[in-house]
Amino acid sequence: MFPYIYQSNSLQIGSYGLMLAIAYLVGRWFYLVQLEKQQPPLKNTEALIILLLVFGVMGAKLMFIIKNPEQSHLLLNGMGFSSQGAILGAMLATWLFAKLNDVGLYLLLDAAAPAAILAYALARVGCFLSGDDCYGIATNLPWGMSFPDGISPTNTKVHPVPLYEIIYSLLIFIYLVKNQYKKLIPYQQFFTLLGLWGLSRFLVEFVSSNPKIVGFMSGSQFGAFLMFISALVFFGLNWKKVK
């Protein structure tokens, strides 16, 4: 593992922080590309990007603390973020922008879907490189990995959960990019993302090391379950319109 890309007496660059920055820049670029395809082109997109960054980070941090109150000391730390909190924060920012600029909310959410999952995949690369306790339970499977040099080291072979998340995230990204060339109804891309992401995260959580706090589910697993159910409701109500 490579928890730190560079270290000196005056500067320390962590792989997790670096990948978060790369995830933001790539996600921002791809989202702007998607928005530029709208006719007429949307205005004030840079303001939207700033809102997404601020609200996304705040939502990610607050949700992490809510799900992990014993780690409240990480509130002002560069570690400890929840992807589901980031989604909620970004949705709130998008809603505010749509209201203030009289833009259809579905245009923004549907365009954001592939960019969001691409950024998530890149951020999970940071989790994998840093070995920051995002790995899973012990396993004897051939692809089990140990993280002796990680930020939260373990010599036991465990499920490399970040790798699982990188793989399913890239598959979802490819599907969404291909899907956008079809004739879609409003919000279809967004709820496709919620459904696929929610189902994938729900299944992966069975081998994660996150504590169970809602019955047999972890906080992240319960959030993923709600994401999947919301997608089922959407497609159930619109099954005649979806092609």
In a domain, 36, yes or no: yes
In a domain, 24, yes or no: yes
In a domain, 215, yes or no: no
In a domain, 214, yes or no: no
Pick the more confident residue, 47 or 185. 185
In a domain, 217, yes or no: no
* pTM of the model as a whole: 0.87
Calculate mean pLDDT across residues 98-123.
Answer: 91
In a domain, 88, yes or no: yes
Buried b (16+ CB within 10 A) or exposed e, 87-96: bbbbbbbbee
Domain extent, residue 104, equals 4-176
Q: How many domains does the chain have?
A: 1
Cβ atoms within 10 Å, residue 17: 16
Q: What is the pLDDT of residues 152-202, one digit of tens each?
A: 888 999 999 999 999 999 999 999 999 988 889 999 999 999 999 999 999
CA distance linking residue 138 with residue 136, whole number of Å: 7
CB 189 within 8 A of CB 208: no
